[in-house]
Amino acid sequence: MALSFDELDFGPPDYKEMLPPVVQRNYGKWKYHEELEPGVYKHVSESGEEAYTVRAGQPKFIASETVLKLCDLADKYANGYLRFTSRHSVEFILDNKDNVEPLKKELAELGFPVGGTGRTVRSIVACTGWVHCHTPATDSPGLQKVLMDELYDYFVSEKLPTRLTIAVSGCLNMCGAVHCSDIAILGVHRRPPTVIDEVVSKACEIPSMIAACPTYAIKPKMIKKEDGTTIRSISIDGEKCMYCGICYGLCPGTPLADPKNDGVSIWVGGKISNTRGGPAFSRLAVPFIPNNPPRWPEVVETVKKIIDAWASDAKPDERMGEWIERIGWTEFFERTGLEFTHKHIDDYIFNIRDMNAGARVKGKEMKKFS
Taken in order of first residue, the domains within the chain and their CATH numbers are 5-110 (3.30.70.3340), 125-186+263-369 (3.30.413.10), 197-250 (3.30.70.20)
pLDDT at 236: 97
pLDDT at 348: 62
Q: How many CB atoms lie within 10 A of CB 293?
A: 11
User: Residue 353 burial (CB < 10 Å; 0-12/13-18/19+)?
Assistant: exposed
Coil/strand/helix, residue 86: coil
pLDDT at 278: 86
pLDDT (tens, 9 = 90+) of the chain, 370 residues, equals 566 766 666 677 788 888 999 999 999 999 999 999 999 999 999 999 999 999 999 988 999 999 999 999 999 999 999 999 988 899 999 999 999 999 999 999 999 999 999 999 999 999 998 888 889 999 999 999 999 999 999 999 999 999 999 999 999 888 888 889 999 999 999 999 999 999 999 999 999 999 999 999 999 999 998 888 999 999 999 999 999 999 999 999 999 999 999 999 999 999 998 888 889 999 999 999 999 999 999 999 999 999 999 999 999 999 999 999 999 999 999 999 999 998 888 766 665 555 555 445 444 444 554 4
Closest of 304, 303, 326 to residue 314, by C-alpha = 326
Give 292-316 as a DSSP string. -TTT-HHHHHHHHHHHHHHHHHPPT
Q: Return d(Cα 120, Cα 182) in angstroms, integer.
A: 12
- Kind plus residue range of the DSSP H or E element containing 67: helix 64-77
| Per-state percent for the chain, helix, strand, coil, to nearest 5 | 35, 20, 45
Identity of residue 121: V
Give the bridge partners for 223, in sequence order. 231
Coil/strand/helix, residue 139: coil
pLDDT at 130: 85
Q: ∠ CA(30), CA(52), CA(22), 5° rounding?
A: 60
pLDDT at 284: 94
Per-residue buried b or exposed e for 86-103, using 16+ beta carbons within 10 Å of the residue's own CB: ebbbbbbbbbeeebbeeb
Considering the entire predicted model, what is its pTM? 0.88
- Kind plus residue range of the DSSP H or E element containing 353: helix 352-357
